[in-house]
Amino acid sequence: MPEPVILPSSLRQRMFEHALASPDREVCGLLGGVQQQLTAYYPVRNIAADPGNEFLMDPVEQIGVMQQLRTTGEALAGIFHSHPGSVAQPSALDRRLAYYPDTIYFILSLLTQPPELKAWYFDGDCFQERSIQTD
């Protein structure tokens, strides 16, 4: 059984707040980490043509976050986005646009109350669900 993803409650809270602030749009962001420990959440603007059903990170903001990760000694440890109208699993489009192997993809579904957060490990080929533990 794969190891669970340890998500600090402060980061989980920031991700939920980000998604709930724009419940009709997919929101997105990056998570930084050091040695498999998630340490920071960086919201990134969604510039997709249809933000209610897809996300596309603003490349300028995304590059800025990646530079900040290097500066702080963090690595890209996760990718987050919300699903306002669908379940917390990778959509066909999410699968097609998954460019970061060996990364955890966090998806928050706003269909349920409370919203449901799931973690998916992408091995470069397919997604495998991981359990989430909060501190």
Q: How confident is the model at residue 1 (pLDDT cuts 50, 70, 90)?
A: low
Residue 10 tokens read as 């402060």
Q: What domains appear along the chain, each with residue ranges and CATH number?
A: 7-134 (3.40.140.10)
Q: Which amino acid makes up residue 52?
A: G
- pLDDT (0 to 100) of residue 2: 78
pLDDT tens-place string over residues 82-115: 999 999 999 999 999 999 999 999 999 999 999 9
Q: What is the predicted pLDDT for the residue at 135?
A: 82
pLDDT above 90 coverage of the chain, percent = 94
Q: How many CB atoms lie within 10 A of CB 89?
A: 16
Locate all alpha helices (DSSP H) within the chain, ordered by sequence: 9-21, 59-72, 92-96
Question: Which pTM was predicted?
Answer: 0.95
pLDDT at 56 over 90: yes
Task: Quote the tokens at residue 45.
Answer: 């603007």
Rounded Cα gap, residues 64 and 49, in angstroms: 22
What single string gives the DSSP state of each residue in 3-35?
PPEEE-HHHHHHHHHHHHHSTTS--EEEEEEET
Range 50-73 average pLDDT: 97
Q: Is the peptide bond before 43 cis (omega within 30 degrees of 0)?
A: no
Q: What's the number of CA atoms in the CB half-sphere (13 Å) around residue 67?
A: 6
